[in-house]
Amino acid sequence: MALADIFTRPNPVAGAGASTPRGFGARPAVDGDELRALIDWVDEIAALTKPDRIHWVDGSRAENDALLREMVDEGKLIKLNPEWRPGSYLARSHPSDVARTEGRTFIASEREEDAGPTNNWIAPDEIRGTITPLFDGSMRGRTMYVVPFSMGAVGGPLSHIGVQVTDSAYAVASIGIMTRVGTAVLEEIAAGKPWVKTVHSVGAPLEPGQADEAWPCNDEKYIVHFPETLEVWSFGSGYGGNAILAKKCFALRIASVIGRDEGWLAEHMLLIRVIDPKGKAYHVAAAFPSACGKTNLAMLRPTIPGWKVETLGDDIAWLRPGEDGRLWAINPEAGFFGVAPGTGESTNVTAVETLWGNTIFTNVALRPDGDVWWEGLTDEAPAELTDWQGNAWTPDSGRPAAHPNSRFTVSAGQCPQIADDWDAPEGVPLDAILFGGRRATNVPLVVEATDWTHGVFIGSNISSEKTAAQEGTVGELRRDPFAMLPFCGYNMADYFGHWLKVGQKLRFDRAPRVFQVNWFRKGADGRFLWPGFGDNSRVIDWIIRRIDGEVGAVDSPIGRLPKLEDLNLDGIEVPASDLDELFAVDPALWLSEADLTEEFYRTFEGKVPAPLYAELAALRYRLKLAQPAA
Ligand code: GTP
Ligand code: SPV
Ligand code: MN
What structural domains and CATH numbers belong to the chain?
A: 3-78+104-263 (3.40.449.10), 267-334+425-626 (3.90.228.20), 337-406 (2.170.8.10)
The helix/strand/coil state of 166 is: strand
Q: Is 303 in the pocket of ligand 1 (CB under 6 A)?
A: no
Distance from residue 533's CA to the centre of ligand 1 (Å): 9
Handedness of CA 54, 57, 58, 61 (dihedral sign): positive
Report the DSSP beta bridge partners of residue 140.
none
pLDDT (average), residues 422-434: 97
What pLDDT, on the 0 to 100 scale, is given for residue 475? 82
Question: Residue with the nearest Cα to atom 3 of ligand 1?
Answer: 290
Q: Is 429 in the pocket of ligand 1 (CB under 6 A)?
A: no
Q: How confident is the model at residue 470 (pLDDT cuts 50, 70, 90)?
A: confident
pLDDT (average), residues 205-234: 97
What pLDDT, on the 0 to 100 scale, is given for residue 24? 63
Express each pLDDT in 117-136 by its tens digit: 999 999 999 999 999 999 99
Biggest CA-to-CA distance, the chain: 83
User: How large a percentage of the chain has pLDDT more than 90?
Assistant: 92
Q: Which atom of ligand 1 is nearest to the CA of 289?
A: 7
Q: Which atom of ligand 1 is nearest to the CA of 341?
A: 18
The helix/strand/coil state of 39 is: helix
Helices (H), 192-254: 240-243
Express each pLDDT in 141-153 by its tens digit: 999 999 999 999 9
Please provide the DSSP assignment of 434-473 as one string: EEE---SSS--SEEE-SSHHHHHHHHHT-EEE--TTSSS-
Q: Which atom of ligand 2 is nearest to the CA of 239?
A: 9
Distance from residue 290's CA to the centre of ligand 2 (Å): 6
Express each pLDDT in 404-419 by its tens digit: 999 999 999 999 999 9
Express each pLDDT in 160-202 by its tens digit: 999 999 999 999 999 999 999 999 999 999 999 999 999 999 9
Question: Residue with the nearest Cα to atom 2 of ligand 2?
Answer: 290
Q: Is the pLDDT of residue 82 over 70?
A: yes
Express each pLDDT in 570-621 by its tens digit: 999 999 999 999 999 999 999 999 999 999 999 999 999 999 999 999 999 9
Written as one letter, the residue type at 380 is E
Expressed in percent and rounded to 5, the helix, strand and coil fractions of the chain are 30, 20, 50
Active-site entry in 217, 292, 415, 488: 292
Please state, rounded to an integer, the average pLDDT across all residues of the chain: 94
Question: Rounded CA gap, 246 and 149, in Å?
Answer: 8
Q: How confident is the model at residue 532 (pLDDT cuts 50, 70, 90)?
A: very high
Contacts of 23 (CB under 8 A, 6+ apart): none
What pLDDT, on the 0 to 100 scale, is given for residue 5? 31
Q: Degrees (nearest 5) of the Cα angle 328, 323, 281?
A: 40
Contacts of 152 (CB under 8 A, 6+ apart): 158, 159, 160, 318, 330, 332, 423, 425
- Which pTM was predicted? 0.95
What pLDDT, on the 0 to 100 scale, is given for residue 334? 98
Q: Is 537 in the pocket of ligand 1 (CB under 6 A)?
A: no
Distance from residue 76's CA to the centre of ligand 3 (Å): 25
What pLDDT, on the 0 to 100 scale, is given for residue 471? 83
Nearest to 252 by CA among 225, 275, 229: 225
Handedness of CA 481, 486, 489, 492 (dihedral sign): positive
pLDDT (average), residues 367-373: 98
H/E stretch holding 295 reads helix 294-298
What pLDDT, on the 0 to 100 scale, is given for residue 296? 97
- 488 is a catalytic site residue: no
Express each pLDDT in 1-54 by its tens digit: 333 333 233 333 333 333 343 446 888 776 788 899 999 999 999 999 999 999
Contacts of 261 (CB under 8 A, 6+ apart): none
Nearest to 23 by CA among 46, 49, 56, 1: 56
What pLDDT, on the 0 to 100 scale, is given for residue 628? 82
Written as one letter, the residue type at 124 is P
What pLDDT, on the 0 to 100 scale, is given for residue 25? 80
What pLDDT, on the 0 to 100 scale, is given for residue 99? 96
What pLDDT, on the 0 to 100 scale, is given for residue 472? 82
User: How large a percentage of the chain has pLDDT more than 70?
Assistant: 96
Question: Rounded CA gap, 256 and 234, in Å?
Answer: 18
Q: Is 291 in the pocket of ligand 1 (CB under 6 A)?
A: yes
pLDDT (average), residues 385-392: 98
Instruction: Tell me phi and psi for residue 320, to 5 degrees.
Output: -140, 130
pLDDT (average), residues 276-300: 97
Question: Rounded CA gap, 285 and 291, in Å?
Answer: 16
pLDDT (average), residues 497-525: 97
